[in-house]
C-alpha cells in the first residue's frame, strides 16, 4: 500500500499542522454545507414573485439541484487531474474560491432558472473536487496512526453542517434567503486564505512525481493508476462506495416518509427520530475512525453489517414502539459511522503518487452507481 511516512511539512510544528488541518476542515465543512442550500431556499424559489419568491415550480427547483449533484461526477475527474499538475494545495484553494463564486452567480438574477441551473451545475463540478484534494492532503501531512481519526473528523463535518444549517435557517428564515446564501459564499474564501498561509505546499513533490513518471514512461493519470492489481482494488472501492451511497440514500431519503405514511407517526415525531440518527452518526465517525487507526482500516466493515441488521429491526417495529425507534435510530447512525475512515483507506490503498486521484474517484465513483441504483430500487 502507499502508506509512506509524512511527505508534507516534515519540519512544521504540530501547532502549524493543526492550523493547516483547520483550514482544510473549514473548506470541507462548507463544501458539505453547500449541498444544503436547496433546503434553505426552495420555499423562496417556489413562492410567487409577488410574494418575494422566484416563481419556480417545485419540479424546476428539484431540477436545479439535481444537475448540481450530477456535476460532482465530472468534477472528480477534472480536479483530480488538475491536482496532479499543480498540486493538491493550489487546487483546493482554487476550488474554495470557485465554490464562493459559483454560489454567488445566481444572486445576480435570482428569478432566472437557466442561470440557476448553469450555476449550480458548475458548483457541483467544483464540489466534486473537494474530497479528492482534502483527504490526500491530510494523509500527506500526518502519520498513519492519525489518519483514520482525522479522515473521520472531516467526514463527520457533514453531520455538523446539517446541524449548523438547521440552526442558521431557524434564525434567518425564508425572508433572509440572501443572508443564507452568503453564509455559503464568504466562509470558503476565508478557508482559502487560511490554506494559503498554513497548508504546506506540495507543488515540489507533485512535480517530482511527474518527472519520475516521465523518466519511467508512466504518466500520472487514471489509466496508469488502474493497472494490474490496482484495477481490481479500484473497482472494489468504487463498488464499496456505491453500495454505501445506495443503501444510505435508500434508507435516509425514505425514513421519515416510512414513519409517517407506513407507521402512522406525526411529522414532528418522525423528524425527531430521524435527527437522532445524525447524532449517532456523528459519534460513530469518531469511534470507528479510532478503531480503524488501532486495529486496521477493514475492521469498521463490521459496522456495515451491523447497520443492515439495525435497519431490519427498524422495519419490524410498530407505531407503539416509539422509544425503540429512537434507540434503533441512534444505533443505525452509530453503525453507519463505519465509513468515516474511508478517506484515509482509499488514499493508502494506492501508491502515494496517485493520492490526488485515488481517494476522490474511489469515493465519488460510488455516486455513479447510486445515481442509477436508487431510482431503480424506488421503481421496483
* 113 Rama sector, left if φ>0, alpha if ψ -120 to 50, beta otherwise: alpha
- Could you give the angle at which helices 322-336 and 301-314 cross, rounded to 10 degrees? 160
What pLDDT is stored for residue 20 in this prediction?
95
HSE-CB for 359 with a 13 A CA cutoff: 31
- Contacts of residue 33, defined as CB under 8 A and 6 or more positions apart, other chains included, come to 161, 164, 165, 183, 184, 187
The band of 215, judged by pLDDT with boundaries at 50, 70 and 90, is low
Q: What is the mean pLDDT of residues 189-196?
A: 97
What pLDDT is stored for residue 103 in this prediction?
96
Is pLDDT larger for residue 196 or for residue 62? 196
* Cα gap 74→122, rounded to integer Å: 10
Cα–Cα separations (whole angstroms), residue 196 to 14, 125, 368? 17, 22, 32
The band of 34, judged by pLDDT with boundaries at 50, 70 and 90, is very high
What pLDDT is stored for residue 340 in this prediction?
80
Q: What is the mean pLDDT of residues 75-89?
A: 90
The band of 251, judged by pLDDT with boundaries at 50, 70 and 90, is confident
In the predicted model, is pLDDT for residue 2 greater than 60? no
Share of the chain above pLDDT 90, in %: 33
What pLDDT is stored for residue 12 in this prediction?
86
What pLDDT is stored for residue 19 in this prediction?
95
pLDDT tens-digit series, residues 94-126 = 999 999 999 999 999 999 999 999 999 999 999
What pLDDT is stored for residue 217 in this prediction?
62
* Cα gap 240→349, rounded to integer Å: 14
pLDDT tens-digit series, residues 266-302 = 877 877 787 788 788 889 988 998 898 889 888 989 9
Q: Which residue has the cell 434567518?
A: 172
Q: What is the mean pLDDT of residues 341-361?
A: 78
Residue 363 phi, psi dihedral angles, 5° rounding: -80, -60
Average pLDDT over all residues of the chain? 85
Burial class (CB in 10 A: 0-12, 13-18, 19+), 215: exposed
What pLDDT is stored for residue 144 in this prediction?
80
Is pLDDT larger for residue 82 or for residue 349? 82
What pLDDT is stored for residue 6 in this prediction?
57
The band of 379, judged by pLDDT with boundaries at 50, 70 and 90, is low
Amino acid at each position: 500500500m502507499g502508506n509512506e511516512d509524512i511527505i508534507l511539512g516534515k519540519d512544521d510544528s504540530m501547532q502549524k499542522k493543526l492550523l493547516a488541518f483547520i483550514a482544510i476542515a473549514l473548506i470541507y465543512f462548507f463544501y458539505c454545507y453547500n449541498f444544503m442550500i436547496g433546503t434553505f431556499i426552495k420555499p423562496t424559489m417556489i413562492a410567487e414573485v409577488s410574494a418575494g419568491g422566484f416563481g419556480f415550480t417545485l419540479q424546476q427547483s428539484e431540477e436545479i439541484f439535481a444537475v448540481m449533484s450530477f456535476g460532482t461526477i465530472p468534477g472528480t475527474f477534472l480536479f483530480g487531474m488538475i491536482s496532479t499538475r499543480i498540486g493538491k494545495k493550489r487546487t483546493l484553494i482554487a476550488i474554495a474560491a470557485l465554490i464562493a463564486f459559483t454560489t454567488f452567480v445566481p444572486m445576480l438574477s435570482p428569478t432566472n432558472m437557466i442561470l440557476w441551473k448553469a450555476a449550480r451545475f458548475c458548483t457541483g463540478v467544483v464540489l466534486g473536487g473537494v474530497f479528492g484534494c482534502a483527504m490526500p492532503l491530510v494523509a500527506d501531512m500526518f502519520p498513519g496512526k492519525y489518519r483514520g481519526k482525522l479522515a473521520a473528523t472531516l467526514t463527520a463535518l457533514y453531520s455538523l453542517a446539517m446541524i449548523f444549517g438547521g440552526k442558521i435557517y431557524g434564525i434567518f428564515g425564508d425572508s433572509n434567503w440572501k443572508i443564507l446564501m452568503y453564509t455559503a459564499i464568504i466562509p470558503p474564501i476565508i478557508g482559502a486564505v487560511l490554506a494559503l498561509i498554513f497548508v504546506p505546499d506540495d507543488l515540489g513533490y507533485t512535480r517530482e512525481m511527474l518527472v519520475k513518471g516521465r523518466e519511467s514512461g508512466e504518466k500520472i493519470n487514471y489509466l496508469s493508476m488502474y493497472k494490474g492489481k490496482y484495477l481490481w482494488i479500484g473497482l472494489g472501492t468504487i463498488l464499496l462506495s456505491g453500495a454505501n451511497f445506495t443503501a444510505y440514500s435508500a434508507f435516509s431519503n425514505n425514513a421519515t416518509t416510512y414513519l409517517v405514511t407506513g407507521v402512522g407517526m406525526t411529522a414532528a415525531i418522525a423528524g425527531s427520530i430521524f435527527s437522532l440518527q445524525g447524532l449517532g452518526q456523528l459519534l460513530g465517525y469518531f469511534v470507528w475512525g479510532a478503531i480503524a487507526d488501532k486495529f486496521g482500516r477493514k475492521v469498521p466493515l463490521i459496522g456495515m453489517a451491523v447497520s443492515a441488521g439495525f435497519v431490519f429491526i427498524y422495519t419490524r417495529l410498530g407505531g407503539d414502539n416509539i422509544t425503540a425507534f429512537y434507540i434503533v435510530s441512534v444505533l443505525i447512525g452509530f453503525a453507519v459511522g463505519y465509513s468515516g475512515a474511508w478517506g484515509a483507506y482509499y488514499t493508502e490503498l494506492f501508491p502515494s503518487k496517485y493520492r490526488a486521484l485515488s481517494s476522490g474517484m474511489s469515493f465519488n465513483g460510488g455516486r455513479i452507481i447510486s445515481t442509477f441504483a436508487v431510482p431503480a430500487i424506488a421503481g421496483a
